Structure 1
Amino acid sequence: MRFRTALVTLLLTSVTLIAQPAGAATRATIAYAQLKQTWELVLTNGDVVEVPEALAKAPAGAVNSGARAPFLVSGDGRHFFYFRKSDERFVERTLSSKERVVSRDLTAYSINEEWPLVSDDGSFVITMTSAPGVGVFADLRKGKQLPSPGKTDAWGFSGFSPDGKRLLLQGERVVVFDRGLRARTRLKTRLSPVALANDYVTTAVPVGTYPKYRKLRLLNLRTGRASSTVTVQLPRGQYIDDLDFDRAGHVIVRSRTKTGVAIYRVSKVTGKATLMRRVARPVAAVWVLPGDSAYEPWTEKK
């Protein structure tokens, strides 16, 4: 997950997205998406852009009919992804572009059987599956789908580097792949890193019992050395709900609060958590922040 979109609280006006949105909207990025009567994009300039062509639920005939359909926003707040109603394909677009199909193998039939994940720049999509392994590897920059690396689909996906140039996967070994799915770094370890920094060797590992993580370690994939355990100094009752790096190499933690999400920059040495911002939950059935996966602890209203 990525955390670079600042939220602005302004008077919201409604704009319907049919083909091309209003020109003013293209100068803003997406602050978050929300599901009301239909999916909507709330922009950083305060505008609201409706996306009526996006499915809200898996259709009749899908494996999990009625399940909530994923709607994703890239970490940079510029790309959004959804299953469209017309043909149930998973598509990508920006505020100023037309839809393009991510993969013809990914349709609404597999909602809640495959979970799409998107790189920070919106240019690479993979899917985790209910069976062991990874389903789709789609490089949107080159417009092609790649076969699973290593002639096996028995991979677990752990994350993209912030610049989107590397993918972190785990099988018998932890492996860093480039965008062409060529292995760059391999390490056999018992640790399970969940985030990869832009140096392509530093990873972050949550420590504790899911979902109440409050500690982490850093693991170097080149040397195999792990740091000592660091306790993240979060407020009482908050936990590490999302762990990642920013482009500068800082450890970033998102933590669910009673009113939404708090985002912290964490010291790799002391665990001191510096609050970067709080994001208040909107009045909506579901909301999605840039960089969210198909489900986050704060996704649905409780």
Structure 2
Amino acid sequence: MRLRTALATLLLTAVPLIGRPAAAATPVTIAYAQRTQTWELVLTDGDVVKVPEALAVAPRDAVNAGARAAFLISGDGRHFFYFRKSDGRFTERTLHGEERAIRNITVDTTGEEWPSVSDDGSFVITGTSAPGLGALVDLRKGRTLPLPGGTDQWSFAGFSPDSKRLLMQGALEDRVTVFDRGLRTRLRAKTRLSPIALANDYVTAAATVGSWPKFRKLRLLNLRTGKASGTVTVGLPRGQYIDDLDFDKAGHLVVRSKTKTGVAVYRVSKTTGKATPLRTMVRPDAKVWVLPGDDEYEPWTEKK
């Protein structure tokens, strides 16, 4: 699906935008973000919304001055996150809502900590360059959670598609653990695999196999039994690789892959690896672009 050319430009201010009719058949969401002179949101109806209050790079007094500041969009296309110029705090916003700053995540540690957000935009977690995690924030309840106990070397692997579970790996014991949003342990398995996706059954996980960044194979892991499937080779076109792996809400495997012109999305058979094209997206003529559900850096993010 070719993303439509922008039709109009709007200015996003600290005052809520005037919303479109609530009865609209198809809600307008964020198709992607792009950075030209400033960050901009390109909506699914073609409109462009500027976000002038979002930092593009870390300021001079940050640990990594000049490093690119994160700009993220939740997988549902309804929430966006950025470090704001006024105080450097990581901030959540919807198209028709006001800013909500997350006080314990700031631009000062850009390049040392990396935020990720859940598909529904209600949970934020940061990984760090040191062993362990940074902040875990439940925006729905407005509270920061303590880090999970047992070891300080947890690494975050991903959210379930319904945003109700977090998949983490403990580096010391080769263990994978499923936590709920209150960071209570729900399931644990020992494995040498490094799964990066968790299905909505909270039992099935998926891991890429091979050498980074040229992944073309995967394995499935049953977190209840600890057993892994055989290796499945994904039937991607020549020159394309598994750049992003996830499950959709129905439990299908979904792969995103960088192409010569942008990004392609495929549904992948768990048994044969057959890749069925779902849509393609052509990269805009911008320095940087970000898709809903992206982590801070994806292969297609920056223009080379």
Q: TM tier, shorter chain? A: over 0.9
Q: Per-residue displacement from partner, 1:179-213 (whole Å, max 9, x unpaired)?
A: 00000001111111110000001000101111100
CA distance in 1, matches of 2:211, 2:6: 42
**Which amino acid in structure 1 is aligned with residue 135 of structure 2?**
V
- Write the letter of the residue equivalent to 1:17: L
Are positions 1:105 and 2:104 aligned together?
yes
Aligned to 2:41: 41
Q: Would you say the 8 A contact 1:7–1:44 is kept in 2?
A: no
Distance in 1 (CA, whole Å) between partners of 2:238 and 2:5 is 31
* Correspondence 1:169 to 2:179: no
From 9, 13, 16, the equivalent of 1:14 is: 9
Per-residue CA distance 1:67-123 (angstroms, 9 max, x = gap): 110000000000000000111100101001101112x22111111111000000000
Separation in 2, partners of 1:159, 1:283 = 30
CA distance in 2, matches of 1:140, 1:11: 31
Give the letter for the 2:209 counterpart.
V
SS at match of 1:24: coil
In the aligned structure 2, how far is the partner of 1:7 from the partner of 1:118? 26
Q: Give 1:174's aligned amino acid.
A: V
Q: Do the aligned residues in 1 keep the contact of 2:74 with 2:293 (CA within 8 Å)?
A: yes
Q: Percent identity?
A: 70
Counterpart Cα distance in 2 of 1:239 and 1:66: 30
Give the Cα separation in 2 of the matches to 1:8 and 1:235. 22
Q: Pairwise mapping of residues 76-95 of structure 1 onto structure 2 (< 5 A)?
A: 76-95=76-95
CA contact (8 A) 1:218 1:226 kept: yes
Aligned-CA RMSD value: 1.3
Q: 2:275 aligned to 273, 276, 287, which one?
A: 273
Which segments of 5 or more consecutive residues in structure 2 lack a partner in the other structure? none
How many residue pairs were aligned? 296
Q: Contact conserved, 1:53 with 1:85, CA < 8 A, in 2?
A: yes
Q: Does 1:31 align with 2:31?
A: yes
Alignment-derived partner of residue 251 in structure 2: 249
Aligned to 1:122: 121
Deviations 1:215-247 (A, max 9, x none): 111000001111111100000000000000000
**Cα distance in 2 for residues equivalent to 1:98 and 1:11:** 24
Instruction: With the length of structure 2 as denominator, give the TM-score of the two structures.
Output: 0.95
Residues in 2 aligned to 1:122 and 1:47: alpha-carbon distance in whole angstroms: 22
